[in-house]
Amino acid sequence: MNMKMLTAGAAMSAMSVFAGNATLDTETLALEFSLENGSLVSMTAKSTGWRIQRRPELGMSWKLIVPMDDDHRDNPIFGVGQKRPEFESGDGFVRFTWNGVTSERTGDLDIRIVQEIRAEESHAVWRTRIDNNSPHVVESVYAPVIGDLGRPADAKRLQLLQPGYGQAGEIDLWPHFAGHQGDYGCEHPTITRLGTTACEPFVFIHDDGQGLYLGTMRRTEDTLTWFCELFPGYDDSLYGHVPDGDEIGGKPVHTVVHTVHQPYVMPGESEDLAPVMLEAYRGGWEAGADVYKGWIGGFSKDAPAPAWISEPNAWLELHINSPEDELRWRYTELPEIAAECAGYGVKAIQLIGWNNGGQDQGNPSHDTDPRLGTREELAAAIAEAEKLGVKIIIFSKFTWADRAERWYRDELVKYAVKDPYGDAYFKGGYKYFTPAQFLDINTKNFSVMCFGCDEYLDICDREFDKVLGLGAVGILYDECAFRLPALACFDMSHGHRYGWPVYRNDNLLIERFRRHDGVTDDFLFAGEGCNDWQFEQYNLSYFRTRVAGHIPMQRYLRPRVQLMVGIQGFNDRNMVNQCLLNRYIMSYEPYNFHGRLRDFPLTLEYGRKMDAFRTGLRKWLWDGEFTGRVGIEVSGLADGAYSRFVAGDGSAMGVIANFSREDATVEASLDGRPVVEYRAVEDGDWTKAEGGRIPLKEMSAVAAR
């Protein structure tokens, strides 16, 4: 087993054994393990005294799911209740070994489990190894497990925060538990599959001032997620309320937090699971994100971006056709639209629905549509737009195959991701314009394609070459981070193992594209809703953020990458303000990206003022580093948000937005001192801020220093 060793002296006195328990100390956590069964029986945040794992009798170590062929699919094996494990310890680590396990349903199984927990500076790291010498597949491994999640003494709420589609989302754990798994499929309120991807690098459990970070500590696309269960259940199911006290009806009340791996360890195989680290922190969500940044920053670097995308810029997203055949604009009309964009200072057009059949039809084909014009006409239009100073970015899609196409039925189905029963995973398609589509009667549905299949990757290469031949300076790969409902592929004829994680070759695909003739340093690889590690290959991520309480996690994690969000309202000042707050590129999308810039003059007028505003202050608001709410405090803002930027010379600037339809007055401080002056987006002058007070007009924003 590959165990990372600490540097000499780093963990002295971090481990001890007493009274049947072993203790392990990190800089932020005090942990205690049972020698009888290896369970985590106590875990406390050192700086605050938060008892994260409370009652020893509810402690847990691990859990397996080992299906017994077609009999006993749900065959759980619990670490608690096994024979006493072997125990080893040393400076900064404890290690438990179970040589064989016993299932309550099926008896003894020859499965060896080694679980080592190390104190590595501020965090505790769980490393789990499975040696499967049984005749069955080890399907799921829960490790580590917090068996009795406590809450800080002064907490008003406890939430699970997880990275997601361009932002972070919060899920209630206490006093309300937001169980969303169907009650027909579980005994207790359960939160499962928290994100849109197989591998979620981390989650936080936090209240307003502190939290616990749980995250992988290995670069992996393996299927890894976090589940939460409320035992025995709600006391009031109408409101999803967690019972008060430690028991109800004679049953213990407790929340269990599982780290869940899906390794599919085959008979005769061994697997070292992705290591998982836990660390306590103080502060807001930014402090939890700092844990991840500190770990991944040493090896995960942003892909170099084309020079033109690094300048302040705004885009138009333009849809010209769909499966229901709107046929809005011919290719020859694109230069006229590009000229309009140039007049408004918009630098790029994301062109959607240009392919044969329109958006979301014919995937993964990237052929042009003869009803819109010839391939040569599209290439000429792209070249003409470039002369006008407007880039055409080609909407592309490689994730899905259109199940209605003959190509799919004759060939592509062989390369689709298959479930354990040999069937291709089904992804419901998108509905366009007509009642027949809205009612899901004639929707073009999809299958998820397998990037572990070399034959399919070769098809993607050929389709990408079709895009390159048009002369565009980039692609926006729609849904590049999406595969659900598929998480693993079980079709070994693709050349991969059983249960192969479907996200594993996401970056490999773009690496292949980068090697194509015609791809220069100025070629843009953009994607929709990129996962964090995809920025090693992608230069830009597009997503939508229509949430008033938007948590800009991705901007905080990757301060320098290009992020773009859609602006669709006809006086969409607040979305424009959100772009200012978080250094997002504005993607103008009148009529839900089926219109032109001239269609929403109010939004465009304010957006152009915003372009000028942050271009004039680009030292901070474009070229500076986003720090979230760290270093800035604002009071009196009932509906709005604020953030801080730091320029290369170390000087800071704050940004405050009032989302309300009423004027407001706030008090703001920057780096511990009241702000001295402020400047509104629509006013070119700096104004003195008396005592740090700033008046904010409705739906407006200011910079402050």
Would you state the pLDDT for residue 11? 34
Mean pLDDT of 119-140: 96
Residue 350 tokens read as 């994301």
Of the listed ranges 149-158, 190-199, 550-559, the least confidently predicted one is 190-199
Would you state the pLDDT for residue 7? 27
| Helix H or strand E encompassing 653 | strand 652-658
Rounded CA-CA distance 40/533 in Å is 31
Classified as helix, coil or strand, 656 is strand
For the beta carbon of residue 46, count every other beta carbon within 10 angstroms. 14
Would you say residue 82 has pLDDT above 50? yes
The residue ranges of every structural domain in the chain are 15-296, 307-399+451-483+504-543, 621-704
Would you state the pLDDT for residue 184? 80
Cα dihedral 157, 160, 163, 169 in deg (nearest 10) = -50
CATH topology identical between 15-296 and 307-399+451-483+504-543: no
Residue 67 tokens read as 């299906």
CATH for 621-704, options being 1.10.3470, 2.40.160, 3.30.230, 2.60.40? 2.60.40
* Strands 123-132, 276-282: pairing kind: antiparallel
Confidence of residue 14 (pLDDT cuts 50, 70, 90): low
pLDDT tens, position by position, 403-458: 999 999 999 999 999 999 999 999 999 999 999 999 899 999 999 999 999 999 99
According to CATH, the topology of domain 15-296 is Beta-galactosidase; Chain A, domain 5 (2.70.98)
Would you say residue 398 has pLDDT above 60? yes
Classified as helix, coil or strand, 588 is strand
Half-sphere exposure of 222 toward its Cβ, with a 13 Å CA cutoff?
24
**What DSSP character marks residue 375?**
H
Rounded CA-CA distance 56/417 in Å is 43
How wide is the angle at C-alpha 575 spanned by C-alphas 655 and 607, nearest 5°?
Answer: 80
pLDDT tens, position by position, 208-263: 899 999 998 887 788 888 999 999 999 999 999 999 999 999 999 999 999 999 99
Residue 378 vs residues 391, 636, 673: alpha-carbon distances, Å? 13, 53, 56
Rounded CA-CA distance 593/582 in Å is 22
Rounded CA-CA distance 161/487 in Å is 22
Confidence of residue 327 (pLDDT cuts 50, 70, 90): very high
Would you state the pLDDT for residue 4? 30
Q: Partners of 690 in the beta sheet?
A: none
Rounded CA-CA distance 291/278 in Å is 10
User: Which residues are CB-contacts of 510 (< 8 A; sequence separation ≥ 6)?
Assistant: 477, 525, 534, 537, 538
Classified as helix, coil or strand, 173 is strand
* Strands 524-528, 474-477: pairing kind: parallel
**What DSSP character marks residue 156?**
S
According to CATH, the topology of domain 307-399+451-483+504-543 is TIM Barrel (3.20.20)
Residue 244 vs residues 28, 49, 249, 256, 380: alpha-carbon distances, Å? 29, 21, 12, 16, 69
Residue 134 tokens read as 């049984």
pLDDT above 90 as % of the chain: 84
